[in-house]
Amino acid sequence: MVAKFELNDDSVVVIIGTGAGGGVLANELAQKGIKVVALEAGGRYLPEDYINDEWDSFGQLAWLDARSTSGDWRVARDFSGLPAWIVKAVGGTTTHWAGASLRFQTHEFKAKTTYSEVQGANLLDWPIDLTEMEPWYEKAETKLGVTRTGDRTGLPGNTNFKVFEAGAKALGYKDVHTGRMAINSAEYDDRMACQQTGFCFQGCKWGAKWSAAYTDIPRGEATGNLEVRERAHVLKIEHDDSGKVTGVLYADKDGNQHLQKARIVCVVGNSIESPRLLLNSASAMFPDGLANSSGQVGRNYMRHMTGSVYAVFDKPVRMWRGTTMAGIIQDEARHDPSRGFVGGYELETLALGLPFMAAFLDPGGWGREFTTALDSYENMAGLWIVGEDMPQESNRITLNPDLKDQYGLPAPNVHFDDHPNDTAMRAHAYKQGMAVYDAVGATRTFPTPPYPSTHNLGTNRMSENARDGVVNKWGQTHDIANLFVSDGSQFTTGAAENPTLTIVALAIRQADHIAREMGAGNI
Amino acid sequence: MTVQTMRQGMTRRQLLSRTVATGATFVIGSGFIAGLDAAWAMETTALKPESMATLIQMARDIYPHDHVADEFYAIAVKGYDTAEAAPDIEAGIAALDAAARGKGHASYLDTGWERDRADILRAMEDSAFFQRIRGGLVTGLYNQKAVWPLFGYEGESYSQGGYIDRGFDDINWL
Ligand SMILES: Cc1cc2nc3c(=O)[nH]c(=O)nc-3n(C[C@H](O)[C@H](O)[C@H](O)COP(=O)(O)OP(=O)(O)OC[C@H]3O[C@@H](n4cnc5c(N)ncnc54)[C@H](O)[C@@H]3O)c2cc1C
Ligand code: SF4
């Protein structure tokens, strides 16, 4: 039975956003008997609604509200209004995500200690470590059904993987496999096995890939403790004279505004909207925005050092067939400064359909150099680079006074400059990625620039001391005890791994903490 | 590409006989443009037919695929044939022709070598007109489902049960 709570019920936990962080947190709290209202800006789409078509799916699911960009990243030039590729829907970006689910490495929780001083980088150690996170990672892997963890077997390799694997082995790489994926290799948790349809980014029509949209959210609703209000866009978080948050103002699908009271508010809008909401909630008491005594809200925006390598062969590959990202080389993920940079990177298989390939292979490119590449689309293989980027204070989300969203609120500006460490790592990764394909006879390779950000991190970072960050080790804001952040904006540093498993593990852990603190009467 | 302004009502044979067959599109009389092989035809309402023909050539020169017929480029740019878009497009085409004349050609369409046309485009690459046409083509051309098979791309696969039994790991040359 789906719950329905009153607007003036101030005993509920309000969760803003229902993606990887919010969807999981909502279910975990509901399972513990806690009453939750989850407000989601997007609509509800389920496997039968997903579309096996790149642009149609993008139009259906993407967050397309006004945003602006600045900085030296190429996205600011090629996709100036689309800094990030994020979903606006119940389930958030877990509809689009590819499912790569990796734990962080030990040293990545201690970036400052391990990398020491990196000029221009605002490095900090996480206030938690891998040992503390291990049990939560295990719960997250079980929830998501991650392959190659527990007793779950790996996915079979598709054509794109076979090319990648052969190249990797020829180059001497050892740690090469079809990934740890939140995609069923066999039936699991009432969801079927992957049918190799090859549209993982467009929403899995079989439900083989984990998405909060059809797992955690309906399960939370089934407890009778969770109400998900879709097409409910939160505009502002309200507080009282004591500085505690008291509720949130949101616009419904018709633009009518409502105030939902709350005992606790959890901000989980992904790393652009979450800091924006805190900044847009500025008041006389908190003129710089909520939870911003450190001045770090919106800063240290990270997007992972990314890039892609595509390669053309003299024979067909048909990389679009099968799982989009089930393939990984982990040998370069270690920290080894002898390569000329700190931190490491993963290489993961990636396939785009023809429409997205045309848009992303070399944005702005034209003429024969460009089109002869696409002429060989059928003979193409591809990989994605994902590595640790350096947090920088000046890479940040700010409110753009000249650009307003559909509610008249200042839109976010996303400023990003590559750090020299990012640039050095990318150059190394391009070289290695191209070598992988050259080793199996590529006739041409393409070091493809980063896409609009799919991983958005760090803008409300976790810190031991209140002066260094926005939230404590539980994701609770240093300044306001009943205000939490539950998405990737908590990340103190980015690590080399795709972030979602860590977001989910932190959300499960945070639910435990919130329940405990509520029980103790502390919040 | 050869463009001729023709009287209306000609038969295909007459058209062919009057056209120097080095290209693929030509303009037929008032507001009508057709493929030389008569495989397709489109009417223009707001743009001059010559301008539409130039636009189609420009589209091909921006994204030249020798195995993709003009028809698909025509579909990709036909959206500019509106009263709203026409003034800017006509101005852009006029600038393109002026640039061609500056290089000693009668018009953009009369510039024989792709290399020379590409040079003309390269010089105006940063213009709003060029960027509008190029940007529009990214989806206008490559998102046509009828174009996909020409590149081998198979599109939607769910209705066929994915590739689990249809070659997801089918590679024999490694
Ligand atoms: C194409 C693609 C592939 C990816 N592949 C992987 C992968 O393989 N592995 C991996 O680890 N990660 C992957 N990611 C990243 C992953 O999707 C994100 O890390 C994850 O979804 C982030 O979770 P989140 O809860 O922070 O935000 P989201 O999942 O983005 O959810 C945020 C939700 O909040 C809502 N919201 C925002 N603001 C408001 C507001 N003001 N009011 C109400 N609702 C609001 C949004 O509509 C959205 O539904 C991928 C992402 C993309 C785009
Ligand atoms: S390839 Fe597998 S996981 Fe991806 S969309 Fe298809 S069935 Fe789902």
Cα–Cα–Cα angle for A508, A137, A195, rounded to 5 degrees: 100
* Contact yes or no for B144/B75 (Cβ under 8 A): yes
Q: How far apart are CA A200 and CA B162, in angstroms?
A: 11
Least confident of A25-34, A179-188, A453-462, B27-36: B27-36
Give the model's confidence band at B41: pLDDT under 50 very low, under 70 low, under 90 confident, else very high: confident
Please indicate, yes or no, whether the overall pTM of this predicted structure exceeds 0.90. Answer: yes
Inter-residue contact A182 to A210 (CB < 8 Å):
yes
Mean pLDDT of chain B: 86
pLDDT of residue B14: 38
Residues of A near B (Cβ–Cβ under 8 Å) read 52-53, 55, 156-159, 161-163, 166, 194-199, 205-206, 313, 315-318, 320-323, 353-355, 357-359, 364, 366-368, 370-371, 374-375, 377-378, 440
- Give per-residue pLDDT as tens, A385-428: 999 999 999 999 999 999 999 999 999 999 999 999 999 999 99
The token duo for A318 is 């048909």
**A201 vs A382: CA distance, rounded Å:** 15
Name A352's Cβ contacts closer than 8 Å, sequence gap at least 6.
A54, A320, A360, A382
Q: What are the tokens at A202?
A: 């467009």
- The pLDDT value recorded for residue B27 is 67
Instruction: Answer for the pair B121, B99: CB distance below 8 angstroms, yes or no.
Output: no
Residues A216-244: pLDDT tens digits?
Answer: 999 999 999 999 999 999 999 999 999 99
Give A100's strand partners: A181
Residue of A nearest to B150 (CA): A375
Binary contact (A315, B173; C-beta < 8 A): yes
- The residue of chain B nearest to residue A194, with distances taken between CA atoms, is B164
Higher pLDDT, residue B143 or B13: B143
Strand partners, A239: A245
Sheet containing strand B25-27, strands side by side: B25-27, B32-35, B41-43
- Contact predicate A217/A67, CB 8 Å: no
Phi, psi torsion values for A121, nearest 5 degrees:
-100, 140
Sheet strands side by side (includes A36-39): A226-229, A36-39, A13-16, A264-267, A483-485
Look at residue B40 in the predicted model and tell me its pLDDT.
75
Q: How many residues does chain A have?
A: 523
Task: Output the pLDDT for position B172.
Answer: 94
- pLDDT at residue B5 in the model: 36
Pick the residue whose CA is nearest to atom 41 on ligand 1.
A234
d(CA A80, CA A510): 35
Q: Please list, in sequence order, all residues whose beta carbon lies within 8 angstroms of the beta carbon of residue A267, skipping any fewer than 6 positions away.
A: A16, A17, A237, A274, A277, A278, A460, A483, A484, A485, A486, A487
Beta B32-35 vs A245-251: how paired, if at all? unpaired
User: Residue B36: pLDDT above 90?
Assistant: no
Task: Give per-residue burial for A271-297: e unless 16+ CB within 10 Å, then b.
Answer: bbbbbbbbbbbeeeebeebbbbbbebb
Query: Looking at per-residue confidence, does B44 or B89 come out higher?
Result: B89
Across the beta sheet with A410-415, what order do the strands follow?
A68-70, A410-415, A396-404
Mean pLDDT of chain A: 98
**What single-letter amino acid sits at A474?**
W
Instruction: Answer yes or no: is pLDDT of A149 > 60.
Output: yes
Dist CA B118 CA A367 (whole Å): 7
Q: Do A370 and B63 touch (CB under 8 A)?
A: yes
Taking residues B7-19, report their average pLDDT.
37
Assigned token pair, A465: 């001391």
What lies within 8 Å, CB to CB, of B41 at 6+ separation is B28, B32, B33, B34, B35
The total of other beta-carbon atoms located within 10 Å of residue A168's CB is 27
Candidate from A54, A95, A199, A325 with most ligand 2 atoms within 8 A of CB, to mutate: A199
Of A157, A316, A359, the CB nearest to B138: A359
CB A263 within 8 A of CB A523: yes
Test the B interface: residue of A160, A195, A352 with most B CBs within 10 Å: A195
CB contact burial A421-433 (16+ within 10 A = b; e otherwise): bbebbbebbbebb
ipTM over 0.90: yes
Please return the burial class of A468, using the count of CB atoms within 10 Å of its CB with bins 0-12, 13-18 and 19+. middle
Helix axis angle, B114-123 to B86-102, nearest 10°: 120
What's the pLDDT at B17?
Answer: 35
pLDDT-derived band at B8, boundaries 50, 70, 90? very low
- pLDDT confidence band for B28 (50 / 70 / 90): low
**What is the distance between the alpha carbons of residues A406 and A411, in angstroms, rounded to a whole number?**
9
Query: What is the C-alpha separation between A434 and A310, in angstroms, rounded?
Result: 8
Q: What is the pLDDT of residues B114-153, one digit of tens each?
A: 999 999 999 999 999 999 999 999 999 999 999 999 999 9
- Inter-chain contact B151–A378, Cβ cutoff 8 Å? yes
| Identity of residue A229 | R
Q: Which residue is closest in CA terms to ligand 1's atom 31?
A: A19
Average pLDDT of the segment spanning A185-191 = 98
In whole angstroms, give the CA distance from residue A145 to residue A191: 10
**φ/ψ of residue A357, rounded to 5:** -60, -40
Q: What is the pLDDT of residue B42?
A: 81
